[in-house]
Amino acid sequence: MKKEKKQEKKEIIVLDAGINTEIIIYGGVCCCGPLMPIRG
């Protein structure tokens, strides 16, 4: 019952799960961009 209520109200809406900090790696050279991304 509680679960149904939660789905109706959408208390938490995940827009982007982001990166997994356990597997992140460097994303390559920045070359003329300001910084180098750390990707998931």
Partner 1 sequence: MQLSHYLKIYPYQEQPDHLLLFSTKQASKVLLAKETFQSIENGTLSPSDEALLSRLGMIVPDREAEKRSIRGLIEKLNKKNPGLSITVVLNLDCNFACVYCFEGDIKGKLYMSDQTAEHLIDFIKEKFSKHKKSLVIDFYGGEPLLSTGLIKSISLPLKSFVESRGAAYSFTLVTNGSLFKRRTAAELASLGLKSVKITLDGPAEIHNRYRPFKSGAGSFDTIIANIKDTWDLVKISIGGNFDLNNYEKFVLLLDYLEVLGLGPDKIFAVKFDPVMKPPQGDTSTACYKDGCMSINEPWLIGAERLLRKEILKRGYYTPKIMPMSCMIEATDSYVVNFDGVIYKCPAFIGKKGFAVGNLQTGVTDYADIYKLDTWKNQDCAGCEYLPLCFGGCRYMTFVRDGNIDKPDCKKAYFDASLEELIKQDIKFRST
User: Footprint of partner 1 on this chain (CB under 8 A)?
Assistant: 2, 9-21, 24-26, 28-40
Residue 32 CB, nearest approach to partner 1 (Å): 6
Residue 18 CB, nearest approach to partner 1 (Å): 3
Residue 7 CB, nearest approach to partner 1 (Å): 12
- Altogether, the residues listed in the chain come to a count of 40
Residue 4 or residue 18: which is nearer to partner 1 going by CB? 18
| Cβ-count burial 8-21 (b if 16+ within 10 Å, e if not) | eeeeeeeeeeeeee
Widest pairwise Cα distance in the chain: 54
